[in-house]
C-alpha cells in the first residue's frame, strides 16, 4: 500500500470514528475538523468516502494558515447562501448582514459586539426551524386529547382541544428552544470569531451547529398541524452534499 493510500485510510478511519482530533500528519485548518466529521456522518453512503478522499488530497496540497479563515469562507460561500435560498422572505437582510461580516473577517478582525448582533437573528431562525415541531406537536396532541377524553369531552371535542393545545404549546416550546440556543451559541461564536482562535470555536460544538442547519433545511418553516407528515423537499441529503462540497472547495482553493 502506498504512503498516500495509507494516509487516506487513516484519515477516513478518523472521520468515521468522529475522532476528537485529526491524524497528527494531517494539516487541517483551525476549526475545520469538527465540521468534517459532522458532514462525513451526514453524507449518503458511498458519497462520504469519496468526499473524504477528496478532502484528504486537498489538505495535503498546501499548509493551511492559522485562524478561522476556512470557517469564514465556508459560511460566507456555502452555508449562508443555502439559508438565503431557503428563506426568500428574509426582508430584514439578516443573512446578508452575517455573510458580509464573514467576508470582512477574511481581511481584518471583527469586534465581538458586531458578531453577536449579526449572529442572533440568523441563529434564532435556524434553531426555530430545526426544532422538531412535528414530533412535539403530535405528542402534545395525543396527551391533550387523552386528558380531555378522561374529563368527559366527546371524541370530537377532545380532538379539537388537543389540536389547539398542541399548536399553542409547540409554538411556545419552539420559541424557547430557539432563544436558548441562539443566546448560548451566539455568545460563544461571537467570542470565538472575534478572537479568531480554534479552541474557543471548538467549544461552540460546530458539529451540532452543522446538524442544526441541516435539520432547519430539511423541515418546512411553517409549524405543521398535528397530523402533518413528511419533510421539506429533498430531505437532508441534498443540503448535506452542498455543505460538504462547499467545504472541500474552500480547502481545494487554499491548497491549490
Output 221 or 158, whichever has higher pLDDT.
158
Please say whether the beta carbons of 235 and 223 come within 8 A: no
User: Is the dihedral angle over the CA atoms 102, 119, 211, 10 positive or is it negative?
Assistant: positive
Distance from C-alpha of 79 to C-alpha of 77, rounded to nearest angstrom = 7
The predicted pLDDT at position 220 comes to: 53
The string of pLDDT tens digits covering residues 111-133 is 999 999 999 999 999 999 998 88
How much is the pTM?
Answer: 0.81
The predicted pLDDT at position 218 comes to: 84
> Which residues does 202 contact at the CB level (< 8 Å), separation at least 6?
31, 34
The string of pLDDT tens digits covering residues 11-63 is 888 888 878 888 877 888 888 999 999 999 999 878 899 999 999 988 887 65
Candidates 14, 29, 32, 23; CA nearest to 207 is 32
The predicted pLDDT at position 91 comes to: 63
The string of pLDDT tens digits covering residues 149-182 is 898 889 888 999 898 988 888 888 889 889 999 9
pLDDT category at 65 given cuts 50, 70, 90 is low
The string of pLDDT tens digits covering residues 225-254 is 333 333 333 344 589 999 999 999 999 886
The string of pLDDT tens digits covering residues 176-206 is 889 999 999 999 999 999 999 999 999 999 9
The C-alpha angle 68, 186, 209, rounded to 5 degrees, equals 70
Amino acid at each position: 500500500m502506498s504512503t498516500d493510500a495509507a494516509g487516506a485510510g487513516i484519515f477516513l478511519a478518523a472521520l468515521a470514528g468522529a475522532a476528537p482530533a485529526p491524524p497528527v500528519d494531517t494539516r487541517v485548518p483551525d476549526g475545520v475538523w469538527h465540521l468534517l466529521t459532522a458532514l462525513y456522518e451526514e453524507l449518503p453512503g458511498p458519497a462520504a468516502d469519496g468526499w473524504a478522499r477528496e478532502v484528504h488530497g486537498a489538505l495535503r496540497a498546501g499548509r493551511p494558515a492559522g485562524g478561522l479563515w476556512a470557517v469564514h469562507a465556508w459560511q460566507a460561500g456555502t452555508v449562508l447562501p443555502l439559508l438565503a435560498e431557503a428563506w426568500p422572505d428574509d426582508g430584514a437582510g439578516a443573512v446578508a448582514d452575517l455573510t458580509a461580516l464573514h467576508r470582512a473577517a477574511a481581511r481584518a478582525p471583527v469586534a465581538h459586539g458586531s458578531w453577536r448582533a449579526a449572529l442572533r437573528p440568523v441563529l434564532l431562525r435556524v434553531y426555530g426551524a430545526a426544532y422538531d415541531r412535528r414530533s412535539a406537536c403530535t405528542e402534545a396532541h395525543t396527551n391533550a386529547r387523552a386528558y380531555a377524553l378522561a374529563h368527559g369531552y366527546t371524541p370530537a371535542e377532545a380532538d379539537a382541544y388537543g389540536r389547539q393545545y398542541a399548536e399553542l404549546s409547540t409554538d411556545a416550546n419552539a420559541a424557547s428552544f430557539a432563544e436558548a440556543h441562539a443566546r448560548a451559541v451566539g455568545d460563544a461564536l461571537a467570542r470565538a470569531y472575534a478572537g479568531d482562535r480554534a479552541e474557543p470555536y471548538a467549544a461552540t460544538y460546530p458539529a451540532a451547529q452543522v446538524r442544526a442547519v441541516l435539520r432547519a433545511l430539511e423541515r418546512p418553516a411553517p409549524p405543521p398541524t398535528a397530523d402533518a407528515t413528511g419533510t421539506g423537499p429533498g430531505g437532508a441529503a441534498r443540503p448535506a452534499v452542498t455543505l460538504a462540497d462547499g467545504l472541500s472547495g474552500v480547502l481545494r482553493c487554499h491548497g491549490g
